[in-house]
Structure 1
Amino acid sequence: MTEPVEHTAISEYRFMVENHLKVIYPDLDHAAFAQDLIDIMCPDGQCQTPETHQNHWDQKNVVMITYGDSLLREGEHPLETLLHFSEEYLSNTINGIHILPFFPYSSDDGFSVIDYHEVNHQLGDWDDVNAIADKFQLMSDLVINHCSSQSEWFEQFKRGEFPGTDFFFCASPDDDLSEVVRPRTNELLQRIDTPQEPRYVWCTFSHDQIDLNFAEPLLLKEVVKIVRLYLDHGVQIFRLDAVAFIWKVPGTSCLSLPETHEIVRLLRTLIQFVAPQAMILTETNIPNRENLAYFGNSNEAHAIYNFSLPPLLVNALLCGSCQHLKTWMMSMPPALHGTTYLNFIASHDGIGLRPAEGLMDEDEISQMVAMMEQFGGRISMRSLAGGGMRPYEINISLFDAMQGTLEGEDEWQIPRFLCAHAIMIALEGIPAIYIHSFLGTHNDQEAVERTGHNRSINRHRWDYEQLQAVLADDEFSHAHVFKGLCHLLQVRRRQPAFHPNATQFTLHLGDAVFAFWRQSMDRQQSIFALNNVSNEQQIVPLSEINLIGTDSWIDLISGEIYSDLRADLVLEPYQVVWLTNLFDRE
């Protein structure tokens, strides 16, 4: 007699969870703990075996990154305002929204979570979150490396009470911590006097952000309860914030250890058996090779950030040469089906420099850093193993980062800015656009002075009525930027060759023209993306692009048709051309 499908799925589910637990916790009662986790994730016992190598995305997937209070209107929850803006202005442009941590917090603009189970009342409530999830694919942060020093768990720790007493990672000042890699300069350990004895808690990011102890299985169980809660409120993409740091072993780098990867695999298994369309995205701002490891064997992250893209692309537009960009792109493995890249060039943080290590030399990075400072940017530092500091991140509005080149400011800011996004939008992967890129927001120097934090420069809060006024008036750069980006994205959404997993090859048309070819998975559509990254006119003979002579070719952006394939294509400064043989005249 054939075993019921449901029973087969739950058996496989249990088997896989147990195997993950054997790696993470060798001495645990794996069967019993696996059942506890499964009971949390599917209390009704209903699950389904996920299909492998399935793409949960296509060319229509575009994510907007935003804080819950980036837009403010009197008498309305900021999350309500965000939904109104997204429906009115972006319903035909994006399909996903990444709301940065929307929980009660004590610092770091949300990334020091006090309570994972509640919505920050200054933003709205769960009904507001649910309303957004009903209309857009919702991405939420799962901030599990650390939590706030004001959380109930840490209050329990300080009182020596269960369960919080074991929920935080502690070390000794006598431990060998010389190899620890981290992106901050504050003291790593913080002394806390507890009723039993003084203990030294681990603080990767700040003394208000206390690192959690995943060596304690009960903590993992609490995290799984949070995952289930978020699924119940419509979260479809889980962004694992700072996940590379979650497992610590003194005497090592404490970065991307084997247990860390196994926890990511466990979370994927737990989620995909009950929500097959849900995705895991790992946020690992580390050198490129280490970042790629989070794909695993197509069994870890569904998507990883293309962290090397922002510094390489900004550098290309500063110096008018795509040499490093081409070298990097040729070295990037195509994502297997069921995995993809998340492409971005601006976010709530800054332009990370660690992902450029090994791809740009130190003099080039220093040159870029110096020019970004001239354009109003700030520089955040990190501590090096064994002492010393190095630039970690450039904090700047991307719009202001595009003010000029290494030669200084010029008149090409808007075309340069749109060129940067056109490149990112056309690459293999899912594009993610920061709300302040959509709006062409400038550096918010007042916010930096007010908060004392460099990252505040790119976290402006707009008055909604003021925003509506500037978006409606072509006298403002904001209107030109918004219309330009929306046009590019709306064109992208209709092209099968821009599927995140469609074929991609680098073309070699000189250092000033960054060019690549995309081909749809059914091989019916080709798109040649030609991008002038310089402030000078470039001429590209069409004969060098290998266009098929029997097809008609059109630039999807301008609508210009190219019928004479022996002619020259003239690219003005920062002009982008998407040449295709199959097009929608919509």
Structure 2
Amino acid sequence: MMTLSTRVAQLLGPLYPDEEVKVLADELIEIMRLVPGGPEPEPYCNQWDEKDLFVISYADTLLSDARLPLENLNHFLGHYLAECISGVHILPFFPYSSDDGFAVIDYYQVNQSVGDWPQIREIASRFDLMADVVINHCSSRSGWFENFRQEKSPGKGYFVEADLSWDLSTVVRPRTSPLLNPVQTLSGERLVWCTFSPDQVDLNFANPEVLKEFVAILRFYLEQGIRVFRFDAVAFVWKVPGTPCINLEQTHILVRLLRLLVEHQRPDAIIITETNIPHRENLAYFGNGNEAHAIYNFSLPPLLLHTLLTGNCRHLRNWLMTLPPARNGTAYFNFLASHDGIGLRPAEGILSDGEIQQMVTAMDAFGGRISYRGRSGGQRSPYELNISLWNAMAGTAKGEDEWQLARFLCAHAIMLGIEGIPALYIHSLLGTENDHERVANSNHNRHINRHKWDYARLLALLADAGSHHHQVFEGVKRLMAIRRAQKAFHPNATQYTLQLGNELLGFWRQSPDREQSIFAIHNVSDQPQPLPLSALNLIDTETWSDLQSGMELADLQATLTLQPYQSLWLSNRA
């Protein structure tokens, strides 16, 4: 078997053809503090099961005068969610200059306004902690960038400097801001590459010194108890003029390299790639089971939203049928909403332009905002729907109706049931509404779904049975608790999509030990729908019941009627 050093060197070769890759490999192994000849991580091993479920939150979502925001978050997780979740993704908690944390000033510090490393380590001791590795860019106010301008190390050579002669006509952009921005250095003006904003300057991974920095950062995070790493915007990380500069082969090699180093330091560590791109390109980040352990299932949010807006699950059903089962050691990371909006690029090639525009129109009517991206020829197209999930479920394409709560719970029943690891954005779990005030104050569309709660007021609303916040919280928590007890909802359990018409979305899950089957059926329309149980071919020698209601099926040839947005989890194991 090849040594770790040899394997690292083989991956470094295509990235740094002019470097002594054996020397660089040994440096990286030393930075990660790996012991040569140490135990090998078990290949194709699932580091998760049906009990795994994440909540996504900013560090400062819950505010009070009495405690630091991270202490409030820890209190909320421990007192209100401990029985429902296994992990928490705390969005960037570092000092930053813009983009709510994604323009990192210092990767080694915690933003003092939210807490410090002891609070992070406390949460990591109780839950699986996911942290962002903002790998594509850092803040223009970082020490690295200031050193770049002063031509000092560390920082000199750390950023992508562009030349006007470069062919950048095919570069894929997620923003409409200028790609290249002029900055003054000791040697005069330089053009630096900024994929996302002038304050977020792209790092130059073609310089191996940048790679060394991030290996050291990963090692430091592991030492703080962080187990799960979200590689933010990693698809854009490698640049080659004359190409789209997205999803390049060098990027995939880089992910493989970092995974190899991380899993040798902590075998149960998990790397998740955040690649908000069309579906087929996203799947490529599984590699051959040697890149991301998990990928964000970015197509799910827009397809599920379209399904519930139209009362027609055709596109979602067809997509589920073509979703390749994740091999052991890999998993989908499922979500419906996040700190960003509902991305539309992952629906490209699945929904038509007219169907996407239908969603844009509906979300605008429900108080949402629309973000656009630039395209060649000066054109722009919808890139993201910015809206709270609660408001997104206010009605259908016909307008608002009385089914908002039922529709909202149906959406979560679908997400919690399909293959993969589920993650719930805290504002969805709380039923938070559009925050128009934050948008007005910041002129930033994404702030519509980044509300900051007064913690005491939130707890009062969650205790008020008449509040929709209470109803959402208790309803979704109940679904989460049921899900975690079902082996058939293991992230890698077998899944087959059922053909029940366009108004009923159904799929069958079977546990890895084949002892439990669950038929998950959901009425995605605003009208009652018949469900002939004979269409499911339930084994009549077993006892079947609905895990959500407790209803036992006495007659397997009967026809049930599902009310608007009702869902069933029919199981042969209570």
The answer to whether the superposition gives a TM-score over 0.5 is yes
Match of 1:344 in 2: 335
Match of 1:411 in 2: 402
Distance in structure 1 (CA, Å) of the matches to 2:328 and 2:108: 34
2:279–2:299 Cα contact (<8 Å) kept: yes
The aligned runs of 1:20-59 (5 Å cut-off) are 20-42=11-33, 47-59=38-50
| Structure 2 letter corresponding to 1:178 | S
Q: Structure 2-normalised TM-score? A: 0.99
| Structure 2 letter corresponding to 1:275 | R
Distance in structure 1 (CA, Å) of the matches to 2:343 and 2:75: 32
| Structure 2 letter corresponding to 1:458 | N
Distance in structure 1 (CA, Å) of the matches to 2:192 and 2:38: 39
Residues 196-249 of structure 1: CA distance to partner in whole angstroms, max 9, x if unpaired? 132100000000000000000001000100000000001101000000000001
- Residue identity over aligned pairs, in percent, reads 57
Match of 1:5 in 2: none
Q: Aligned pair 1:368/2:359, yes or no?
A: yes
Match of 1:381 in 2: 372
2:544–2:553 Cα contact (<8 Å) kept: yes
Distance in structure 2 (CA, Å) of the matches to 1:42 and 1:246: 25
Match of 1:141 in 2: 132
Match of 2:415 in 1: 424
Residues 453-497 of structure 1: CA distance to partner in whole angstroms, max 9, x if unpaired? 000000001111101101111110000000011100100011000
Residues 339-375 of structure 1: CA distance to partner in whole angstroms, max 9, x if unpaired? 0000001000000000000000000000110110000
1:178–1:386 Cα contact (<8 Å) kept: no
Distance in structure 1 (CA, Å) of the matches to 2:215 and 2:287: 21
How many angstroms does 1:279 deviate by?
A: 0.4
Matched residue of 1:562: which SS? coil
**Which of 303, 319, 322 is the aligned partner of 2:310?**
319
**Which of 199, 216, 226 is the aligned partner of 2:207?**
216
How many angstroms does 1:42 deviate by?
A: 1.7
Distance in structure 1 (CA, Å) of the matches to 2:338 and 2:430: 13
1:62–1:431 Cα contact (<8 Å) kept: yes
Matched residue of 1:65: which SS? strand
Distance in structure 2 (CA, Å) of the matches to 1:238 and 1:385: 33
Q: Aligned pair 1:186/2:177, yes or no?
A: yes
Q: Aligned pair 1:560/2:543, yes or no?
A: no
**Which of 301, 305, 309 is the aligned partner of 2:296?**
305
Matched residue of 1:192: which SS? strand
Residues 149-186 of structure 1: CA distance to partner in whole angstroms, max 9, x if unpaired? 00000001111222312000011233211100011000
Structure 2, unaligned runs of 5 or more? none
Match of 1:4 in 2: none
Match of 1:280 in 2: 271
Match of 1:263 in 2: 254
The aligned runs of 1:194-273 (5 Å cut-off) are 194-273=185-264
Distance in structure 2 (CA, Å) of the matches to 1:73 and 1:59: 34
The aligned runs of 1:58-69 (5 Å cut-off) are 58-69=49-60
| Structure 2 letter corresponding to 1:497 | A
| Structure 1 letter corresponding to 2:335 | F
**Which of 517, 520, 528 is the aligned partner of 1:537?**
528
**Which of 423, 427, 436 is the aligned partner of 1:436?**
427
| Structure 1 letter corresponding to 2:420 | G
Q: Aligned pair 1:466/2:447, yes or no?
A: no
Match of 2:505 in 1: 514
Distance in structure 2 (CA, Å) of the matches to 1:142 and 1:187: 24
Distance in structure 2 (CA, Å) of the matches to 1:363 and 1:234: 47
Matched residue of 1:371: which SS? helix
Distance in structure 2 (CA, Å) of the matches to 1:258 and 1:403: 42
Match of 1:487 in 2: 478
Matched residue of 2:303: which SS? helix
| Structure 2 letter corresponding to 1:143 | V
1:13–1:49 Cα contact (<8 Å) kept: no
Q: Aligned pair 1:398/2:389, yes or no?
A: yes
Distance in structure 2 (CA, Å) of the matches to 1:422 and 1:428: 12
How many angstroms does 1:25 deviate by?
A: 0.9
Match of 2:156 in 1: 165
1:105–1:112 Cα contact (<8 Å) kept: yes
| Structure 2 letter corresponding to 1:542 | L
**Which of 52, 65, 74 is the aligned partner of 2:65?**
74
How many angstroms does 1:46 deviate by?
A: 7.3
Matched residue of 1:33: which SS? helix
Match of 2:79 in 1: 88
Distance in structure 2 (CA, Å) of the matches to 1:160 and 1:65: 38
Distance in structure 2 (CA, Å) of the matches to 1:23 and 1:559: 57
Matched residue of 1:475: which SS? coil
Distance in structure 2 (CA, Å) of the matches to 1:151 and 1:30: 29
1:73–1:463 Cα contact (<8 Å) kept: yes
Match of 2:491 in 1: 500
Matched residue of 2:441: which SS? helix
2:34–2:264 Cα contact (<8 Å) kept: no
How many angstroms does 1:47 deviate by?
A: 3.4
Distance in structure 2 (CA, Å) of the matches to 1:74 and 1:198: 46
Matched residue of 1:273: which SS? helix
Match of 1:476 in 2: 467
Q: Aligned pair 1:117/2:117, yes or no?
A: no
Distance in structure 2 (CA, Å) of the matches to 1:315 and 1:119: 39
How many angstroms does 1:75 deviate by?
A: 2.4
Q: Structure 1-normalised TM-score? A: 0.97
| Structure 2 letter corresponding to 1:51 | E
Matched residue of 1:485: which SS? helix
How many angstroms does 1:44 deviate by?
A: 5.5
Matched residue of 1:166: which SS? coil
| Structure 2 letter corresponding to 1:231 | L
Distance in structure 2 (CA, Å) of the matches to 1:45 and 1:103: 33
1:149–1:210 Cα contact (<8 Å) kept: yes
2:4–2:36 Cα contact (<8 Å) kept: no
How many angstroms does 1:300 deviate by?
A: 0.1
1:147–1:211 Cα contact (<8 Å) kept: yes
Distance in structure 2 (CA, Å) of the matches to 1:336 and 1:55: 9
| Structure 1 letter corresponding to 2:350 | L
How many angstroms does 1:387 deviate by?
A: 2.5
| Structure 1 letter corresponding to 2:181 | Q
| Structure 2 letter corresponding to 1:344 | F
Q: Aligned pair 1:100/2:91, yes or no?
A: yes
2:34–2:265 Cα contact (<8 Å) kept: no
Residues 19-53 of structure 1: CA distance to partner in whole angstroms, max 9, x if unpaired? 11012111211111111100111256573211100
Residues 283-308 of structure 1: CA distance to partner in whole angstroms, max 9, x if unpaired? 00000000000000000000000000
How many angstroms does 1:314 deviate by?
A: 0.2
**Which of 441, 450, 457 is the aligned partner of 1:450?**
441
Matched residue of 2:156: which SS? helix
| Structure 1 letter corresponding to 2:524 | V
1:532–1:572 Cα contact (<8 Å) kept: yes
